[in-house]
Homo-oligomer: A and B are copies of this chain.
Amino acid sequence: VIVMPAATPSPVRPVTWVGGPEGHLRLLDQTRLPTEVVYKDCTDVDEVWEAIKMLRVRGAPAIGIAAAYGVVLGVGEAKNATLAWPKAQQVIAHLKTSRPTAVNLFWALDRMERTARQALAPVMNLSSFQERLLREAHAIYAEDAAMCRAIGEAGAGLIPAGGGVLTHCNAGALATADYGTALAVMFVAAEQGKKFHVYADETRPLLQGARLTAWELQQRRVPVTLICDNMAAQVMKEGKVQVAVVGADRIAANGDTANKIGTYGVAVLCHFHGIPFYVAAPSSTFDLTLADGTGIPIEQRDPKEVTHGFGRQTAPEGVAVYNPAFDVTPARLISGIITEKGVIRPVTAENVRKVIGG
């Protein structure tokens, strides 16, 4: 039997595989949080693609994991062993079109493709092929959970006792296999008995900070205050924040970091107020093929996310909207990058190489 790796006892499980190779993927539908806890069972690859596109599952590591399980589902649709490899290739190519910025998606899918190619070599039957792919998806899941825990341990010392911590968007358990990246740092610090207060940017347009981060912190009883994005500067000015920690969707070889839109602004505000600004991310978020952030593609999303944010129209008909999903924070504004292999500090191409390898 293939058993899904045990997660730490978390109140939230964004991604769960139910059953064996013929099983299905269960996603916590994050678009329904925090007012409803609803799971969506995906039984084919199109449902996984839709769930990623529509942000039912989101967060760079979680997207990669969901996509890996999506490959298992997709290969199950192959009619026979001969068609398994073309099917795997087709499914992988399709899943890559769901969201362009998070590198973990491509990283996980490339890993599944390598596994599929190797698994085919000894010519096997369809069910053992699926089994092999499921084992790999489970391995990606388990490694991510372990990396997140290690990130938390590497970064917990950066949380100032009695201080305030600002975060943007959601880089918590909901964004990963378990535990999170930026929030892992806070969760481990809290486990260590440190007292501190988190300020969560609501993160327009989709309010991941309000809906997800505030909810996760509440679940784990970490004190949190919700603010609108445009209040971050004032909160800093009032001396309420001693450090900022955010996640990442893709990090270039020099440390330039793509993350949720608004992250760059937070970094500039931290710089102005003399507040350290940290990125927390597993090594799978690094894209060492890119020398710097200029090569990172930035997803543009539907204007309706801005104009019809709350189910109600809140902007005039026909108004032009600019809605980039991400921005790139230059390495020079980042005090350090917290990875499962240690903290990269100062953030330079040389130090990235040293810690991450490559």
Asked whether B225 lies within 8 Å of A320 as measured between CB atoms, the reply is yes
From A199, A312, A321, A323, residue with most partner B Cβ within 10 Å = A321
Q: Is A218 an interface residue, CB under 8 A from the partner? A: yes
Copies in the complex: 2
Provide the A156-172 mask, 1 if CB < 8 A to any CB of B, else 0: 00000000000010000
Other-chain contact of A229, B34, B224, B229, B316 (Cβ < 8 Å)? B229
Q: Is A276 an interface residue, CB under 8 A from the partner? A: no
Asked whether A310 lies within 8 Å of B310 as measured between CB atoms, the reply is yes
Asked whether B319 lies within 8 Å of A230 as measured between CB atoms, the reply is no
Give the residues in chain B near A84, CB-CB below 8 Å: none
A221 to chain B minimum Cβ distance, whole angstroms, is: 12
How far is it, in angstroms, between the C-alpha of A225 and the C-alpha of B269 when the chains are bound? Answer: 24
Count contacts on A: residues with CB < 8 A to the other chain: 56
Give the residues in chain B near A311, CB-CB below 8 Å: 310-312
Provide the A306-320 mask, 1 if CB < 8 A to any CB of B, else 0: 110111111111111
How far is it, in angstroms, between the C-alpha of A226 and the C-alpha of B307 when the chains are bound? Answer: 9
How far is it, in angstroms, between the C-alpha of A225 and the C-alpha of B306 when the chains are bound? Answer: 11
A116 to chain B minimum Cβ distance, whole angstroms, is: 38
- Interface of chain A residues 298 through 334 with chain B (CB within 8 A): 306-307, 309-324, 327
- Interface of chain A residues 219 through 261 with chain B (CB within 8 A): 223-235, 237, 261
Provided the pairs A314-B310, A316-B214, A320-B224 are in contact, do residues A230 and B201 lie with their beta carbons within 8 angstroms?
Answer: yes
Asked whether B307 lies within 8 Å of A210 as measured between CB atoms, the reply is yes
Give the residues in chain B near A312, CB-CB below 8 Å: 310-312
Q: Is A56 an interface residue, CB under 8 A from the partner? A: no
Chain B's closest residue to A200 (CB) is B319
Q: Is A211 an interface residue, CB under 8 A from the partner? A: yes
A264 to chain B minimum Cβ distance, whole angstroms, is: 5
A272 to chain B minimum Cβ distance, whole angstroms, is: 5
Q: Is A262 an interface residue, CB under 8 A from the partner? A: yes
Q: Is A205 an interface residue, CB under 8 A from the partner? A: yes
Give the residues in chain B near A226, CB-CB below 8 Å: 306-307, 315, 319-322
Asked whether A204 lies within 8 Å of B233 as measured between CB atoms, the reply is no
How far is it, in angstroms, between the C-alpha of A262 and the C-alpha of B202 when the chains are bound? Answer: 14
- Interface of chain A residues 66 through 106 with chain B (CB within 8 A): none
Provided the pairs A226-B321, A227-B321, A327-B233 are in contact, do residues A310 and B309 lie with their beta carbons within 8 angstroms?
Answer: yes
A333 to chain B minimum Cβ distance, whole angstroms, is: 10
Asked whether A268 lies within 8 Å of B233 as measured between CB atoms, the reply is yes
Provided the pairs A210-B306, A225-B321 are in contact, do residues A203 and B218 lie with their beta carbons within 8 angstroms?
Answer: no
List 5 interface pairs A-B (beta carbons < 8 Å), by A numbering.
A202-B314, A202-B315, A225-B321, A227-B322, A228-B323
> Residues of A at under 8 Å CB distance from B?
34-35, 168, 199, 201-205, 207, 210-211, 214-215, 218, 223-235, 237, 261-262, 264-265, 268-269, 271-272, 306-307, 309-324, 327
